[in-house]
Amino acid sequence: MISHILSDECLGCLLIADTNIPFLQNVLSNNQFLNGTVDTQFIDENQDLFNLKPVQNRAQKLLHYLGHVMVNGPTTPIPVKAKPSPIAPVIPPVPLGEPPVGFRDVLLREGPDGFAKAVRAHQGLLLMDTTFRDAHQSLLATRVRTHDLKRIAPFVAHSFSNLFSVENWGGATFDVAMRFLCECPWKRLQELRALMPNVPFQMLLRGANAVGYTNYPDNAVFKFCEVAKENGMDIFRVFDSLNYLPNMLLGMEAAGAAGGVVEAAISYTGDVSDPTRQKYSLDYYLKLADELDMAGLLKPDSSRLLVGALRDRFPDVPIHVHTHDTAGAGVAAMLACAEAGADIVDVAVDSMAGMTSQPSMGAIVACAKGTKHNTGISLEKVFDYSEYWEVTRGLYAPFDCTATMKSGNADVYENEIPGGQYTNLHFQAHSMGLGNKFKEVKKAYTEANKLLGDLIKVTPSSKIVGDLAQFMVQNSLTRAEVEERADELSFPLSVVEFLQGHIGIPHGGFPEPFRSKVLKSLPRVEGRPGASLPPMDFQALEKQLRDAHGDEITPEDVMSAAMYPKVFQEFKEFTRTFGPVDCLDTRLFLDGPKIAEEFEVELERGKTLHIKALALGDLNKAGQREVFFELNGQLRSVLEMHFHPKALKDVRGQIGAPMPGKVVEVKVKQGQKVEKGQPLCVLSAMKMETVVNSPLSGIVAKIYVTADSTLEGDDLILEITE
């Protein structure tokens, strides 16, 4: 057909030109051509056919990525040496047609106020499913990919239309999506929204910190919420890690201005049923609620007391309760909350529940069945949903907390370590050879919390307490020694910045004289940290991004760069090099294919690659290995540089990374003399900072890393000669 449209001379040119494929793609997508209403003047009259888009070359980029993983291992840090399961999860049957009407229909029809009234008027207990966010953030280091969420999303839409919401965004997922999963967090939201149109989506917003770990100008928080709402977000759970009201109010105003449903979240610590715990008493929480639970510390009696008092004080306001099941009492606590007047409780599907995750969905559904708190959810559907996640969880074995942690622990009532952080601390302790000293780490956490004035502990305040605890364990310091030597010790940066006031003012103020001894003459932030920041210039930022990355920058990209400028830059560079790795199955993404393995990769609807991994060549003199593939029946190969040597454990002076992470700071220089126990560098991993100390005295012979280097466990950091 094309030969009838184009002259012989023009066609001949096309067949030898480098740009013929983009040109033909433009022809084949032209409406006039598709309608068959063309003549010999078609090309002359449609000069836009020559507006050629650069060839994406996605297939070759993906081969480059797969070859890179086969030669060098995963691009995301792996906490434990475990392989993804080879078993592919089976998606339960999904009915044809549109999913049933859900609570989102009420929200779209009646707005946030009408939605809140409908929730209060609802008969029975409503559930929020955390499986898409907090469950895997707590159990699997936030590593679950959009690929696996999309596969089960239609089943959830059809089977659980009566959920209050699905929590699928915010918290650590925004950062981790770009930093470790090499995918766009906004694309996740967009694709899930298309697959689940009937269930409200919920996100976790860190108040004035949005989805970051720092303060942003006020207009950045407002703009972020606006773009999130436009992309399908419905409910914004707004919290502050210190329950610092000015930070919370800023986030609430931003979410409300965007048209979202605002959930003001009070972070719970202590024990309101214990009369000896006075700092965070029942009166404190009621007063905070008047002016306007993260760790898993709620006991059944405390739940009844707290929720009952809030229900009496606020009879018309929906009450939504969140907890972690670290101690194992989560189901009992949530049922007690329901009995005391809570409208909604948080659950995770059974195979992703328990331990540091949320209480079991199946257990709550079964216990509430036949009572006034009946959830209306089918247990059979829960079982099918759980089976999918049980197999899918195996794909993330390298990140699964059960590699080092075999059960929850009721000592969380003593140390008050938040659910997700409990997992991270456990991983870190084992990575650093402190697995047998985890009890000491937990004790140090309790002491560090007291040093800092007994804080509400949620990200990022929990990280600050954890960093100080690790610092104390690594340096064998007691609480008394830290207090006595506070003016001479080199504290983690997060601790110093907290004491400066960078994340707000804790309830009861900063601990003195500890604060003054640590800060000495360092500046202090007065009031709400973000209030003094100048507005962000989004037009200038967009221009800067277009200059760097081309004209296909979206409003969502601008917000990603506003929240995490360096992470976004690295993400764009990664995708420019390796292409759309989010199309790969999770096992292939993490571990690469086996030799002789055949598989398919769907780039988009109607565009599928057929790939076979053929062979892996030997290391050449340039330090490269050639990887051979068959792509759609044609032989292809890529050369991959083998990089970052491992520390040899039988060579005394080779210092390896104790765990996967990113280098924050290198504290020594080549040729420098170091003493045993002297800090060599600082690693950051799983929201914590770890100092690598020298195991011997000697001279630094060679340094193999720089600030921002990403390391796997045992990667060589430096060599010391005695």
pLDDT digits (tens, 9 = 90+) for 113-130: 999 999 999 999 999 999
The strand pairing partners of 673, in sequence order, are 699
pLDDT at position 21 is 65
Q: Average pLDDT of 36-48?
A: 79
State which amino acid sits at residue 488. E
DSSP class per residue in 436-497: GGHHHHHHHHHHHHHHTTS----TTHHHHHHHHHHHHHHTT--HHHHHHTTTTS---HHHHH
Q: State whether the Cα torsion 169-172-174-180 is positive or negative.
A: negative
- CA atoms within 13 Å, Cβ hemisphere of 120: 13
Residues 7, 12, 14: CA angle, nearest 5 degrees: 95
pLDDT-derived band at 511 (thresholds 50, 70, 90) equals very high
pLDDT at position 194 is 97
Burial (CB < 10 A; 0-12, 13-18, 19+), residue 381, is middle
pLDDT at position 430 is 66
pLDDT at position 263 is 93
Q: Measured in Å, how far apart are the chain's first and last C-alpha atoms?
A: 77
How many angstroms separate the CA atoms of 46 and 34, rounded? 14
Q: Average pLDDT of 311-340?
A: 92
Domain ranges of the chain: 1-50, 121-199+268-399, 415-519, 538-578, 654-721
pLDDT surpassing 60 at residue 54 = no
Query: Rounded to the nearest 5°, which phi and psi values hold at 539?
Result: -65, -45
pLDDT at position 144 is 97
Q: How far is CA 654 from CA 95, 266, 659, 668, 671, in A?
A: 59, 48, 15, 15, 15
CATH of domain 654-721: 2.40.50.100
> What are the contacts of 530-537 at 24+ separation with CB within 8 A?
530/208, 530/215, 530/216, 530/217, 530/218, 530/221, 530/247, 530/250, 531/218, 531/246, 533/215, 533/216, 533/217, 533/218, 534/217, 535/217, 535/218, 535/219, 536/216, 536/217, 536/219, 536/220, 536/223, 536/562
- Residue 173's contacts (CB-CB under 8 Å, 6 or more residues apart) are 133, 137, 142, 185, 188
Residue whose pair of structure tokens reads 């002297």 in the numeric block: 678
State which amino acid sits at residue 44. D
Nearest residue to 244 (alpha-carbon basis) of 439, 591, 506, 509: 506
Q: Which CATH superfamily does the domain covering 415-519 fall into?
A: Conserved carboxylase domain (1.10.472.90)
More confident residue, 713 or 347: 347
Topology of the domain covering 538-578? Arc Repressor Mutant, subunit A (1.10.10)
pLDDT-derived band at 9 (thresholds 50, 70, 90) equals very low
pLDDT at position 509 is 92
CB 655 within 8 A of CB 623: no
Percent of the chain topping pLDDT 90: 59
How many angstroms separate the CA atoms of 237 and 177, rounded? 20
Q: Average pLDDT of 501-514?
A: 92
pLDDT at position 18 is 43
Q: What is the pLDDT of residues 666-707, one digit of tens each?
A: 999 999 999 988 989 988 876 667 788 898 999 999 999 888
pLDDT at position 3 is 36
More confident residue, 310 or 541: 541
Mean pLDDT of the chain: 88
- Other CB atoms closer than 10 Å to residue 320's CB: what's the count? 22
pLDDT surpassing 50 at residue 2 = no
pLDDT surpassing 50 at residue 5 = no
CB 254 within 8 A of CB 206: no
Q: What is the pLDDT of residues 626-662, one digit of tens each?
A: 999 999 999 999 988 777 788 887 788 999 988 778 8
Omega within 30 of 0 (cis) for the link into 300: no
pLDDT at position 422 is 75
pLDDT at position 576 is 94
Task: Give the DSSP H or E segment for 688.
Answer: strand 688-693
The strand pairing partners of 303, in sequence order, are none
State which amino acid sits at residue 234. D
pLDDT-derived band at 712 (thresholds 50, 70, 90) equals confident
pLDDT surpassing 60 at residue 570 = yes
CB 627 within 8 A of CB 648: no
pLDDT-derived band at 107 (thresholds 50, 70, 90) equals very high
pLDDT-derived band at 496 (thresholds 50, 70, 90) equals very high
CB 24 within 8 A of CB 14: yes
> 236-245, 293-302, 616-625: which has the minimum mean pLDDT?
293-302
pLDDT surpassing 60 at residue 12 = no
Q: How far is CA 458 from CA 9, 143, 419, 587, 687, in A?
A: 70, 20, 9, 32, 12
> 106-120, 336-350, 619-633: which has the minimum mean pLDDT?
619-633
Q: What is the pLDDT of residues 572-606, one digit of tens each?
A: 999 999 999 999 999 999 999 999 999 999 998 88
Residues 487, 491, 496: CA angle, nearest 5 degrees: 90
Structure tokens at 584: 């790969």
How many angstroms separate the CA atoms of 125 and 105, rounded? 19
Three-class SS state of 186: helix
CB 213 within 8 A of CB 545: no
Strands across the sheet containing 673-674: 654-656, 716-721, 698-703, 673-674
pLDDT surpassing 80 at residue 55 = no
Q: Which CATH class is domain 121-199+268-399?
A: alpha beta
More confident residue, 532 or 373: 373
CB 69 within 8 A of CB 591: yes
Q: Which of 70-84, 443-457, 679-693, 706-720 has the highest mean pLDDT?
A: 443-457
Q: Average pLDDT of 617-625?
A: 83
CB 242 within 8 A of CB 507: yes
How many angstroms separate the CA atoms of 400 and 80, rounded? 8
How many angstroms separate the CA atoms of 333 and 341, rounded? 13
User: What's the whole-model pTM score?
Assistant: 0.83
Q: Average pLDDT of 548-565?
A: 95
pLDDT at position 13 is 38
DSSP character at residue 76: S
pLDDT surpassing 90 at residue 623 = no
pLDDT at position 719 is 94
> 49-58, 184-193, 380-389, 610-619: which has the minimum mean pLDDT?
49-58
How many angstroms separate the CA atoms of 657 and 652, rounded? 14
